[in-house]
Copies of this chain bind each other. A is one copy, B any other.
Amino acid sequence: MAQQHLEPTDASAGAVTADALAGYLRAQATEFLRALRQHRENGGAAAGGSEASVDAARALRRSSRRISASLHTFRPLLDPDWSERIRPELAWLSGTLALEHAYEARLERLLLALQRLSGAMLPAQVDAVAGSRAAGAARVGATAPASAASGNPGTPTPDRGNLTVGAAKAGALLDRQLTLARTRAHSTALQALGSSRFHAVADNIAVLASEVPLAQTAATTPLPPLAAAAEDRLNDAITALPLVTAGHPYNAEALIHGLSPDPSPHPQDAPWHQVRLLLRLHRYAREVLQDAGIADVRLLAAGEALDRHRDASEAAAAAAQAARTPRIAPATAYALGVLHADQRHEVEAARFAFQQAWQKETVSTP
């Protein structure tokens, strides 16, 4: 089955070897260095003109993920010492850079959900709120002073005038907790970008941009079987998912354990998170093979559903976590309970969307 997906390149399979991988890695390394330069140029400025820095940080994460994924999927072609030294460093970097954005997106998702649940907001208002937050909040690229990042009076926040008392208090509590987490992530990211550890990563990537450290056998090792193996790992993981249940709307699976005493994220989410990572590896392997096109729209739809699954899962956990804050009012706790359940249903909806997207792909691939 995996062979079928790779057919377009089968004719020239002999040619798809180390050259293609080296070209891809050089391009990603160049993109990394460009993003780093852009980040330094914009990131040094005060808060405000930070849009470019945000883009730069995103581009850094993007190329880090692709380099790391390629080192993993096409491991046999690369110098093992170098490859095994650089991969955890790239994971550390993209993980560190991702955190601030994740907290910000989580807060936005939860506040918008609270407003939706209060039933008083029009779509246009929701857009405006999302826009004002996106424009006003400090981010890793902005190197803003901590006071700006921690939600001082100048930071635009969603209008809570139309929230009920419980929802408003829940929103304020989430804002406080997630803004604090975001501020900490912001500082951590800034420290990381100034650290000698990061400079070592950047030096490695600079080398990669000109010369890829290949293994001695690289020239004779074809890429397609390695990409096919990545696809097989994805398909195996998807086969293990409860897709029949997920394809049955309103199956009420996602909220089971919704009142479980376990404060950790729902264990039922883990296989879906794993598929999300494997789908990304598969997508990046296709990029290396320049095997894009036919099924890309469906892969993207499936990937977006899994992103939404992850976001809703973590937002639900944040709402549950906030409800454990000591001495909150019952109305606040009630609103957080409604919010938690709402996000767990988003989890269920995302699984349904994934099932639909994936089913389409299977059907349309003859």
Q: Give the shortest distance, in Å, between A344 (CB) and chain B (any CB).
A: 8
Cβ-based interface call for A329 (8 A):
yes
The answer to whether residues A255 and B338 also contact, given A118-B260, A249-B249, A349-B250 and a CB cut-off of 8 A, is yes
Interface assignment of A299: CB less than 8 Å from any CB of chain B: no
Minimum C-beta distance from A302 to chain B (A): 16
**B-side contacts of A331, CB under 8 Å:** 323, 333
User: Which residues of chain B are near A328, meaning CB under 8 Å?
Assistant: 330
Is the pair B259, A118 in contact by a Cβ cutoff of 8 Å?
A: yes
A259, B167: Cβ atoms under 8 Å? yes
- Of chain B, the residue at the smallest CB distance from A341 is B341
Which residues from chain A sit less than 8 Å from chain B, CB to CB?
114, 116-120, 163-167, 249-250, 252, 255-261, 323, 328-342, 345, 348-349, 352
Also in contact, A117 and B333, with CB within 8 A (given A249-B250, A250-B345, A341-B342): no
With a CB–CB cut-off of 8 A, which chain B residues contact A118?
Answer: 257, 259-260
Contact of A333 among B334, B340, B348 (CB under 8 A): B334
Evaluate contact between B164 and A260: CB separation under 8 angstroms: yes
Chain B residues near A340: list those with CB within 8 A. 334, 337-338, 341
Question: Chain B residue with minimal CB distance to A167?
Answer: B259
**In contact, B337 and A252 (Cβ under 8 angstroms):** no
Q: How far apart are A258's CB and chain B's nearest CB, in angstroms?
A: 5
How close is A263's CB to chain B, nearest CB, in angstroms? 11
Contacts of A250 in B (CB 8 A): 249-250, 345, 348-349, 352
Once A167-B259, A345-B250 are accepted as A-B contacts, the answer to whether A332 and B335 lie under 8 Å apart by CB is no
Tell me whether A338 and B258 are in contact in the complex, defined as CB-CB below 8 angstroms, given that A249-B249, A249-B349, A349-B250 are known contacts.
yes
Can you offer 16 A-B residue contacts whose CB atoms are under 8 A? A118-B259, A118-B260, A119-B256, A119-B257, A165-B261, A249-B249, A250-B345, A252-B345, A323-B331, A328-B330, A333-B334, A334-B336, A336-B337, A337-B337, A337-B340, A345-B345
Q: How far does the alpha carbon of A323 sit from the alpha carbon of B333 in the complex, in Å?
A: 10
List the B side residues contacting A334 at CB < 8 Å: 323, 333-334, 336-337, 340
Docked-complex contact B117 and A258, CB < 8 angstroms: yes
Q: Quick one: given A252-B345, A337-B335, are A261 and B330 in contact (CB under 8 Å)?
A: no
- From A119, which residue of chain B is reached at the shortest CB distance? B257
CB distance from A348 to the nearest CB of B (A): 7
Contact B116 A252, beta carbon cutoff 8 Å: yes
- Whether B261 and A164, one on each chain, are in contact in the complex, defined by CB atoms closer than 8 angstroms, is yes
Known: A330-B329, A330-B330, A337-B333. A255 touches B117 (CB 8 A): yes
